[in-house]
Amino acid sequence: MPSVLSPPPTILSQPIQFLKGIGERRAEVLAKYGVRTVHDLFFYVPRRYLDRTSIVTIAQLRQTYFRPSNQPQEESADVQKDYTVVGDVRSFRVMGMGRKSRFVLILGDETGTLQCVWFGGVNYWKAKFQIGETLAVSGQPTAFGGVLQFVHPDVDRIAERQSEDEKDEVQIDWSQTLNTGGLVPLYPSGKELERVGLDSGGFRRLIGNALRKSLENVAESLPGFILKKHSLLPLRDALGNVHFPKTDSDLNESLRRLKYDELFYFQIKLALKRQRVKTDTNGIAFNVQSKLARRLVDSLPFKLTQAQIRVLREITADMESAKPMNRLLQGDVGSGKTIVALLSMLVAVENGYQAVFMAPTESLAEQHFKTLALLLKGIDVNVRLLVGGQRSKLRRDVLDDVQRGSAQIVVGTHAVFEKQVEFANLGYVVIDEQHRFGVMQRQSLRKKGKNPDVLVMTATPIPRTLSLTLYGDLDVSVINELPGGRKPIKTVLRYEEEKDAVFRFVREEIKKGRQVYFVYPLVEESEKIDLKAAVVHFESLQNQVFPELKLGLIHGRLSSEEKDSVMQQFKNREIDILVATTVIEVGIDVPNASIMVIENAERFGLSQLHQLRGRVGRGSEQSYCILLSKKWLAVRANKLTGDSTKWHEALDEQRVAERRLATMVQTNDGFKIAEIDLQLRGPGDFFGTRQSGVPEFKVADIVADTQLLEEARQDAFEIVERDPHLQLPEHRIVIDHLRALYHDALALGKVG
């Protein structure tokens, strides 16, 4: 890196070892938790706080315990109220023997005495205190045999033994105490952290000391005009306050400042990335007048929807320009993304380039392969399938075709990323279900081509908050309309007891010529047992409920030939009811199937339910989705034996499940469903996979902090728009901070 990029003097960019109290061992463990620099540590904010601002005399403490007022305590999820007492050590001793021993200390003030009790570690405690010294202790009052106690209180030493006169002089500065008085931070910790002394108290000491010593060397990270615009606290104040706040409002303001900081720099990086792509003119400028595409459109048995036409225009405009395309295509299941992708691939093919179509699983790749082959019947384009499980002879043949360029469209899985796969002339990349691939993988694919255009697709409607962070550097096209002639699916919730009525309804619809899915959940931990349950279930449906009908069973353990054969029978209407585990979630298209019964619907995730439902409603008949659920609270409650935490967990789980089912009944709108799913699950789990590239923020919460995210994004993009290289003096702070802390963002690499 050129020397102009030398970082400015801010302590934040220093490695964590720079701090006193951090050796190699701690540094190593902290790194696992994403804490590598002083910045990381200072942004390692408390999980919650103990409110120890309430400083009472022992008499007052006695009063609150033995005669609590009827006033309910104001409860906040993040702050627990404790009491703090200041007194001097009157006596202490070890009581009991061996494992039952405990350390008892008597603290006194002018209003009474208080017992402090610690179980275990008596030798440690014995050596810790001196008679007569002044302590502050914080905790929750309890009583044992009528004696007022604090069990395992937190302690700060306030003063050595003093004469009676001096005692009145003691002025306590609560901002200097780590464990008592004020709002006391509780830090997230874990076994490994605890082993190196970094339990919550350890963090408190470490961060407290670091702040005391180094806060003045923290450089401001946001320009003055931004601070003013949003009335944000200076960084130093915010950092000091967030760890050791004096009041609630201090805390909230500090959090707001740090969240903004984090979101702003995230968005600045995206803005720079996007800027780079915009000015990059080394992409391929395709001629988008495509005879092949025209021929395909003419051969389709349907007309493209307005939405499909619109997104095709957006895509081809990108393809025509010399900038590399980076576009996200969002569209609900069944909205017709595949045909859009294929049409755009034909443009690339007609220009003499190869196109690749990536699917997340082999069976999906196979389905896409078949679909494309079918659609391209009579159009002379060579489509090849490249997946992991292929025999070596076939594989060599495919690789050869790819390398020579005679494979014009390649449908593949992760197998395409492998080194041996070389393209003659890759110019266009389509990635289906994009969140199931990593950013690095997108990049590696780019490198296989000549700066190809990239279209990523997703059927998971992505809430705006998430797409702003996850895909903030992409252009977005949305297919917001389903192909015509489709009636909205009617969704209902039915309980087990109403099953017979459901069966009757199913039978009537089948008599009218419809077909039906029965979906059965699998829970991964015990796939074998589950599968057995599915088989048993299938047999009872076939033998007891619908003996006169033809049923088929499909599940993940079948070979792909077996699956194909069942699917084929279903398509040919040789099967009336297809009993399935969730393998039918993606990619199945049987328009005559108009009813889906989802059993144990409370066990499915919201997005998954929505995806499943997308398998019906594909024909012109009225479709139905019937969610069957146990009145399961009663069932679970019976199993619980008086353990109130479990009971509450079960209730919470139930509430969430009910919300999911109610949402399904209320709406077919994938975006609404996605928003609710995001709220229910949190960003990390939204896609059901951790490696989906959803950024993890230390302070901000992209679900709760949408507003702030939008503001930070707007500011960041405006700044980069106006000053792409951040050269203006008022942006000095931004570039300095980026250089110090986010040099990767300035390493002007390619976009993923």
Task: Examine residue 611 and tell whether it contacts ligand ADP (CB under 6 A).
Answer: no
CB 548 within 8 A of CB 556: no
Q: Write down the H helix ranges in 196-336.
A: 200-214, 224-229, 235-243, 248-279, 291-299, 306-320
| Contacting residues for 540 by C-beta, under 8 A, at least 6 apart | none
* Distance, CA of 276 to chain centre: 27
- Please report how close the Cβ of residue 342 comes to ligand ADP at its closest, in angstroms: 9
Name which of 519 and 628 has its Cβ closer to ligand ADP: 519
- Please report how close the Cβ of residue 459 comes to ligand ADP at its closest, in angstroms: 5
Name which of 222 and 459 has its Cβ closer to Mg ion: 459
Considering only the stretches 159-167, 298-306, 420-428, 670-678, report the one whose residues sit in contact with ligand ADP under the rule CB under 6 A: 298-306
Where in 564-603 is the site for ligand ADP (CB under 6 A)? 589
Task: Examine residue 239 and tell whether it contacts ligand ADP (CB under 6 A).
Answer: no
644-666 vs 632-639: helix crossing angle, rounded to 10:
170
> Which one of Mg ion, ligand ADP, none interacts with residue 354, CB within 5 to 8 A by kind?
none
Size of the site for Mg ion (CB under 5 A): 1
- Please report how close the Cβ of residue 341 comes to Mg ion at its closest, in angstroms: 8
Site string for ligand ADP, 454-493 (x = CB under 6 A): -----x-----------------------x----------
Where in 97-156 is the site for ligand ADP (CB under 6 A)? none
Considering only the stretches 334-342, 539-547, 650-658, 697-705, report the one whose residues sit in contact with Mg ion under the rule CB under 5 A: 334-342
Sign of CA dihedral 402, 403, 408, 413: positive
Task: Examine residue 305 and tell whether it contacts ligand ADP (CB under 6 A).
Answer: yes
Task: Examine residue 335 and tell whether it contacts ligand ADP (CB under 6 A).
Answer: yes
| Contacting residues for 546 by C-beta, under 8 A, at least 6 apart | 503, 506, 507, 576, 577
N-terminal to C-terminal alpha carbon distance within the chain = 22
Name which of 348 and 372 has its Cβ closer to ligand ADP: 372
DSSP string, 315-381: HHHHHHSSSPPEEEEEE-TTS-HHHHHHHHHHHHHHTT-EEEEE-SSHHHHHHHHHHHHHHTTTS--
> Which one of Mg ion, ligand ADP, none interacts with residue 589, CB within 5 to 8 A by kind?
ligand ADP
For residue 348, give the nearest of 413, 426, 294 by alpha carbon.
Answer: 426
Task: Examine residue 338 and tell whether it contacts ligand ADP (CB under 6 A).
Answer: yes
Name which of 256 and 618 has its Cβ closer to ligand ADP: 618
Task: Examine residue 617 and tell whether it contacts ligand ADP (CB under 6 A).
Answer: no
CB 678 within 8 A of CB 686: yes
| Contacting residues for 234 by C-beta, under 8 A, at least 6 apart | 220, 227
Sign of CA dihedral 321, 324, 326, 332: positive
Where in 315-334 is the site for ligand ADP (CB under 6 A)? 331, 333-334
Structure tokens at 591: 């328009």
CB 393 within 8 A of CB 356: no
Considering only the stretches 323-331, 332-340, 571-579, 666-674, report the one whose residues sit in contact with Mg ion under the rule CB under 5 A: 332-340
- Residue of 327, 337, 368, 414 interacting with ligand ADP (CB under 6 A): 337
Let me know the angle formed at the C-alpha of 298 by 293 and 300, rounded to the nearest 5 degrees. 95
Task: Examine residue 302 and tell whether it contacts ligand ADP (CB under 6 A).
Answer: yes
Let me know the angle formed at the C-alpha of 551 by 545 and 556, rounded to the nearest 5 degrees. 120
- Residue of 55, 94, 304, 379 interacting with ligand ADP (CB under 6 A): 304
Considering only the stretches 247-255, 333-341, 660-668, 690-698, report the one whose residues sit in contact with Mg ion under the rule CB under 5 A: 333-341
CB 597 within 8 A of CB 591: no
Considering only the stretches 120-128, 169-177, 302-310, 489-497, report the one whose residues sit in contact with ligand ADP under the rule CB under 6 A: 302-310
> Which one of ligand ADP, Mg ion, none interacts with residue 331, CB within 5 to 8 A by kind?
ligand ADP
Name which of 184 and 385 has its Cβ closer to Mg ion: 385
Task: Examine residue 610 and tell whether it contacts ligand ADP (CB under 6 A).
Answer: no
Q: Which residues bind ligand ADP (CB under 6 A)?
A: 302-305, 308, 331, 333-339, 459, 483, 589
Q: Which residues bind Mg ion (CB under 5 A)?
A: 338
